[in-house]
Structure 1
Amino acid sequence: MGAAQVSDFMKVKVPKGATEVKGAVQVNPREDIYLLSFVTDEKQAVQVAEDLRSDAPLRVRKHDVQPAGELFGHLGLAEPQILESARWAGVCPPCVKDERRSEVAWIETYVHAQAQGKVRVYLQAF
């Protein structure tokens, strides 16, 4: 699967003009993990995060020294959990009655600042 299929599963629209769009699925015995990443501007990244309907806005989380496993590394990217100042939001779509994402148990996003006012968005869902 590529970015288009992952975006469709998550019901997340990649912003027009986004670059470096990457997507993949990590197949697991219990549940597959869907990964999507792209570079866009701050405003569009915040809109993507807000569309997830999380109870809390994007916020800086204490970063982990070592993530539980490699996910985004398969896309040639650093794991967002270890990036300094990466902002995070997560949500259980069924818990917030988001019928668009009824097949998604959990979805989270990380937003990390890049050069020239751009940010990289990392989305992970299962």
Structure 2
Amino acid sequence: MTRTNSLTNRITSAVVTVLLGLSAAACTDSSSGTPKACSGGPVWVEGQGSTEAAGFMRVQTPTSATDVKGAVQSGFQDTTYLISFTAPTADAETFIADLRPEEALRANTPRDSKTYTTITPWSHLGLPEPETEQRVRTASVCPPCIKDERRATVQSITIFIQDIGDGRARVYLKAF
């Protein structure tokens, strides 16, 4: 029985992965590989950026932060908030520690930038996908799970931090 359930889970997972891939491919311009608008799919909310994303996540970017970018995407079921900035590595690490990740940041194995797709692309902000970059560490946090009352309405925050050299780091946060 366990073997049957395992096979069923693998098949279900494969089907979902294929469907998500097809959905993402349908929303990509085949000539340039950049995301395009799809009817009925997620849409970027005009006029909402880093201020709204930081407000939703209840974070304050470090005073040393530069190149702060953000966006809000209204999706099928959830609204997704993106915020990214660069800062001295020490300030970025302090900022990340305040999010109280459930696990230590771990090295991210870069994915192929030519084939990697996502429904909420960082390219909307003119940034590369952190999953495709070198020297990136990642973690996640579920604020309600760790009883972080400051962020009780935030379901999940995915964290990426990239060493960009010269003692600086780029922080990427994606939350819903």
**Which interval holds the TM-score relative to the shorter structure?**
over 0.9
1:112 aligns with 2:159: no
Distance 1:59 1:79 in 2: 17
Contact 1:49 1:89 (8 Å CA) reproduced: no
TM-score (norm 1): 0.93
Shift of 1:47: 1.2
Pairs within 5 Å for 1:77-96:
77-96=127-146
How many pairs are equivalent? 126
Aligned to 1:32: 79
Contact 1:6 1:35 (8 Å CA) reproduced: yes
Alignment RMSD: 1.3
Distance 1:44 1:80 in 2: 19
**Structure 2 gap ranges (5+):** 1-47
1:57 aligns with 2:104: yes
Shift of 1:67: 4.0
Distance 1:112 1:80 in 2: 8
**Structure 1 gap ranges (5+):** none
Distance 1:9 1:48 in 2: 16
Amino acid at match of 1:11: R
> Mean alpha-carbon deviation: is it higher for 1-10 or for 61-70?
61-70
Task: Tell me the SS of whatever aligns to 2:61.
Answer: coil
Deviations 1:19-61 (A, max 9, x none): 0000100110200110000000111111121111112222212
Shift of 1:68: 3.1
Contact 2:87 2:170 (8 Å CA) reproduced: yes
Contact 1:67 1:82 (8 Å CA) reproduced: no
Distance 2:64 2:108 in 1: 28
Aligned to 2:52: 5
Could you list the structure 1 runs, at least 4 aligned residues long, displaced by more than 2 angstroms after superposition: 61-65, 67-70
Residue identity over aligned pairs, in percent, reads 40
Shift of 1:70: 4.5
Distance 1:94 1:70 in 2: 23
Which is higher, the Rg of structure 1 or of structure 2? 2
Distance 1:8 1:93 in 2: 15
Distance 1:45 1:10 in 2: 16
Task: Tell me the SS of whatever aligns to 1:97.
Answer: coil
Distance 1:84 1:15 in 2: 24
